[in-house]
Amino acid sequence: MSTIVNCAAYAGGKRVGDVAVEDISLVLGQPDQFVWIGIHEPSEDLLKQIQEEFGLHDLAIEDAHRAHQRPKLEMYGDSLFIVLRTAQRDPKGGRVEFGETHLFVGSNYVVSVRHGAFPTYAEVRARCEATPQLLAKGPGFVLYALMDFVVDQYFPIVDALEEQLEALEEKIFSRSFSRETTRRVYDLKRDLVEVKRAVSPLVDICNRLTRFDLALIPQDTHPYFRDVYDHTIRINEMVDTLRELLTSALEANLSLISVAQNEAMKKLAGWAAIIAVPTMVAGVYGMNFEFMPELHWRFGYPLVIAVTLGICAYLYVRFKRSGWL
């Protein structure tokens, strides 16, 4: 269900008031004012209406409606179209859930189109309205605030994935091998790959934003985008480190499983060698020949049993010393 979460006009860093969608074009005609509208999973009709009010490009509107886009930044005339991948942890399953936010930024408007279950940007709006001296910078600062909020949501996710990795490492080296551990390693690796795919393009996006010579990205907001750039670099490095550690953990898990299997095979081979001695002796005396070694000697049977047990004991001691048992 499409929802207009908030639509307001701002002037001089202060909120002027709420604006109806059909009145947006009137507000855009006012000097020193800009409109900030937030939409959640809009319908095609609503997007068409928004397109008419702001004069947005057809291709950008098509992307915003279909979603499932990779993070990117595109210029259409004097406006920007930015796609961000949002992420949050499922409180029940602990898996990482991804959504999308599409941003249309012009000289006097910001349109955010949110897809998925990511929290609303009410916190970002309240933070911006609490700092009118910064909000007075216009849509460029709003763009920074939204990007900064999205990027900062990845830090607790990466920290949680790191905790999962540490728990897996403890389980791997506790010698409690199981197929479930290997499955959890692959699940964690899949989450890291998705986080990498969502965050990695942001490095280039932030780089380009600091280089664009546009009125909607004032020079004094470039340091803010460099801050977002620094955060994305840190997250990328953390994810790369976790992926390397996870690969090493997976290799260690498989190696330890192989070692455990070899240990089990050595024990089986040792016991098989010990059991082979009485089996051979019993096989010889079970052939029912008339002439058998010491068959009619009074102490023949006890001697054979003693020799058999002696050989078995000798093999057991040797295997025990060599670590096979």
- Supply the pLDDT for residue 233: 92
- Supply the pLDDT for residue 255: 74
Residue 106, domain extent = 1-131
- Supply the pLDDT for residue 296: 66
Q: What string of H, E and C letters represents the secondary structure of the chain?
A: CCEEEEEEEEECCEEEEECCHHHHHHHHCCCCEEEEEEEECCCHHHHHHHHHHHCCCHHHHHHHHHCCCCCEEEEECCEEEEEEEEEEECCCCCCEEEEEEEEEEECCEEEEEEECCCCCCHHHHHHHHCCHHHHCCCHHHHHHHHHHHHHHCHHHHHHHHHHHHHHHHHHHCCCCCCHHHHHHHHHHHHHHHHHHHHHHHHHHHHHHHHHCCCCCCCHHHHHHHHHHHHHHHHHHHHHHHHHHHHHHHHHHHHHHHHHHHHHHHHHHHHHHHHHHHHHHHHHHHCCCCCCCCCCCCCCHHHHHHHHHHHHHHHHHHHHHHHCCC
Q: Is residue 37 part of a domain?
A: yes
Q: Is residue 76 part of a domain?
A: yes
Q: Is residue 196 part of a domain?
A: no
Q: Is residue 165 part of a domain?
A: no
108, 131, 154 - which closes a domain: 131
- Supply the pLDDT for residue 307: 76
- Supply the pLDDT for residue 102: 92
In this structure, what CATH number is given to the domain that contains residue 315?
1.20.58.340
pLDDT averaged over 10-residue windows placed end to end, the chain, 325 residues: 78 88 83 88 86 87 83 87 87 79 90 83 90 89 92 90 84 69 81 88 86 71 88 91 84 73 74 76 65 64 75 76 71
Q: Is residue 30 part of a domain?
A: yes
105, 131, 157 - which closes a domain: 131
Q: Is residue 215 part of a domain?
A: no
Q: How many domains are contained in the chain?
A: 2
In this structure, what CATH number is given to the domain that contains residue 56?
3.30.460.20
Predicted TM-score (pTM) of this structure: 0.76
- Supply the pLDDT for residue 178: 66
- Supply the pLDDT for residue 55: 85
- Supply the pLDDT for residue 262: 72
